[in-house]
Amino acid sequence: MFSSTPLDARNKRIQNRVRILFGLMTVLLVLPVLLILGLLVYKGAPVISLEFLLTSPTEGMTAGGIMPALLGTIWLVSVALLVSVPVGVAAAIFLSEYARDNWVTRVINLAIINLAGVPSIVHALFGVGAFVLFFRFGTSILAASLTLGIMTLPVVIVSTREALQAVPHAFREACWAMGATRWQTIWRVVLPNAVSGILTGIILEVSRTAGETAPIMFTGAAFFLPYLPVSVYDQTMALSLHLFVISTQVPGVPEALPFGVALVLIALVLTMNATSIVFRTVLRRRRKW
């Protein structure tokens, strides 16, 4: 009664092959990550020290530390977040919770998708035109961060909107029926349950912002600066640009130095991600349905 027919046997064979094939793909996916990290640690670890993190580059950037660049990247990412998170989250809330589905919102959505597809060098040129020249911010942290912020805005909007839409519609209806306004519903029920998803978008944004070179190259990041930035109107060094500079523009840099810089950059991003993930997990544990 339960004996298998040739068709059953064939289906089972195919099923097994598919599983093995897709499993291999998954392993392939992890492999480059491990190789990159392994290489960076292997080649870069020797130069990493507290001194490396806390001193400025010396001898024409062929020696010394990376403190100004590290600090500069933190500056750029923070200011970019201050720009893109409020704007992006607010826009996503409007699009998801308030806007009706009509041609205007469809055009806006199309614009957001297109914004995500614009190459970063084009964002850089926009940043130069708009922030450096038109708004007269000069080459500064402000101009660079605004450029980065606009570049990452689509990521924040799309991920926030998805997080909001993952909250069941029935929750909203129940609140509205109780006489809650849209905002009361969003504030008391929708947002608390979407926070973890919104954070995921911000994590992605942080990683991308910290690593980008092109958008900051012409808008606020400096080749080398003998001083540290004290306000958003100053220029700054940045890890990503520093890595580019010492890898390609400066002769006589010891091989380990760029790898050290890259390792710090990756570690910075991973630390920020890890923090957000922990935060997210804690939030998610509190909310369940």
Partner 1 sequence: MNPARPSSPPPGAPPPDERPVVLSVRDLGVRYGDHVALRSVSFDIHQGEIFGIIGPANSGKTSLLRAINRMDEFVDGMSVSGTVELFGRDVRRVRNVYALRRRIGVVFPLPVGLPLTVYDNVAMAPRLAGVRDKATLDETVERCLRRAALWDEVKDRLDTLGSLLSGGQQQRLTIARALSQDPDILLLDEFSIAVDPVTTMRIEDVLRQLRDEMTIVLVTNLVQQARRLADRTAFLLMGECVEVVDTEQLFTGDVADERTRHYVEGRFG
Q: Least distance in Å: CB of 284 to partner 1?
A: 11
**Pattern 266-285, binding to partner 1, x per CB under 8 A?**
--------------------
CB of 95 to partner 1, least distance (A): 14
Report how far residue 1's alpha carbon sits from residue 170's, in angstroms, rounded to the nearest whole number. Answer: 46
User: Does the footprint of partner 1 cover residue 175 (CB under 8 A)?
Assistant: yes
Residue 106 binds partner 1, judged by CB under 8 A: no
CA angle at residue 227 from 221 to 233, to 5 degrees?
A: 50
Is residue 104 close enough to count as binding partner 1 by CB under 8 A? no
CA 271, 277, 281, 287 dihedral sign is positive
Nearest residue to 193 (alpha-carbon basis) of 221, 222, 170: 170
Binding flag, residue 188, partner 1 (CB under 8 A): yes
CB count within 10 Å of CB 248 equals 9
H helix and E strand count, the chain? 12, 2
The only residue of 139, 160, 193, 240 in contact with partner 1, by rule CB under 8 A: 193
Q: Per CB under 8 A, does 184 bind partner 1?
A: yes
Residue 101 binds partner 1 (CB under 8 A): yes
Residue 29 is a binding residue for partner 1 (CB under 8 A): no
| Run of H or E residues at 63 | strand 63-64
**Residue type for position 276:** S
Q: Which of 41, 62, 138, 172 binds partner 1 (CB under 8 A)?
A: 172
What CA–CA distance (Å, rounded) separates 126 from 194? 32
Helices (H), 94-213: 103-117, 120-127, 141-165, 169-177, 182-185, 191-211
Rule CB under 8 A: choose which of 42, 135, 176, 183 binds partner 1. 176
Site size toward partner 1 (CB under 8 A) is 22
Q: Structure tokens of 208?
A: 């991308």
- 4, 181, 271, 281: which one contacts partner 1 (CB under 8 A)? 181
| Of 5-13, 80-88, 167-175, 199-207: span binding partner 1 (CB under 8 A) | 167-175
The least CB distance from residue 113 to partner 1, in Å, is 22
Question: Residues in the site for partner 1, rule: CB under 8 A?
Answer: 100-101, 170-181, 184, 188-189, 192-193, 287-289
